[in-house]
Amino acid sequence: MPEPETLFEYIEKEAAYEKDLEGKRILVTAGPTREALDPVRYLTNFSTGKMGYAIAKAAALRGASVTLVTGKTEIKKPSFVKIIEVESAADMFEAVIKEAKEQDAVIKAAAVADYRPKEVNTEKTKKKDGDLTISLERTEDILKWLGEHKTKGQFLCGFSMETENMLENSREKLNRKKIDMIVANNLKVEGAGFGTDTNVVTIITKDREIALQKMTKEEVAHRLLSEIF
């Protein structure tokens, strides 16, 4: 007999939500990327994947066909979704461009590294006297690529994590990346940011700004999906 947790997941999927997204195909990205320095070390960020996983789960419970492209995380992966695990920004870029064309919506909640080491050592970098300088280069801009290759009728949603000038910076990103919506939050606001079970976001489109109060990330996920569809 299945474990109680598994049984509950199936009951929840069948009974908890109206299947208002049935027939929709949604791609979600989540988690951090890791950019190797050598076989031992890498550059990354504090993203846990909680927000992206909450979106993927909410969409699946509401009947959508969901693909989740995820960096390395320590949390349980959502059930009833197609999981594609990646490591680096380049890996995520390749996975997204392969899957994006067939999607009705792409929700890019991952915290993708903007830079990676220009050279990756094949052996462990040994400690020496003095400082060490690491040259960095830009990674692929996944959201920009999506905006430039958007298919007819497709909806693109990005996320913007800021520490200052949140609305201005996020709206500029919305316009520059040619996307339909951006979900902005400020790392310095209590209840928002990496690793929390809650979030405080503002949903920004070309014509509107919707400031939400502090909610669980699951509540934010459902509100976001309802705004998109």
Q: Is 169 considered catalytic here?
A: no
From the list 8, 1, 159, the residue with the least C-alpha distance to 79 is 8
Strand partners, 82: 67
In the chain, how many H helices and how many E strands? 6, 14
For residues 214, 220, 83, 148, the Cα torsion angle rounded to the nearest 10 degrees is -110
Check if the beta carbon of residue 50 is closer than 8 Å to that of residue 68. no
d(CA 219, CA 41): 36
Q: How far is CA 215 from CA 166, 190, 191, 210, in A?
A: 19, 12, 8, 14
- Radius of gyration of the chain from Cα atoms? 18
CB atoms within 10 A of CB 54: 24
Q: Which one from 45, 165, 169, 186 is the annotated catalytic residue?
A: 45
Phi, then psi, of 216 in degrees rounded to 5: -65, 160
The residues annotated as belonging to the active site are 45
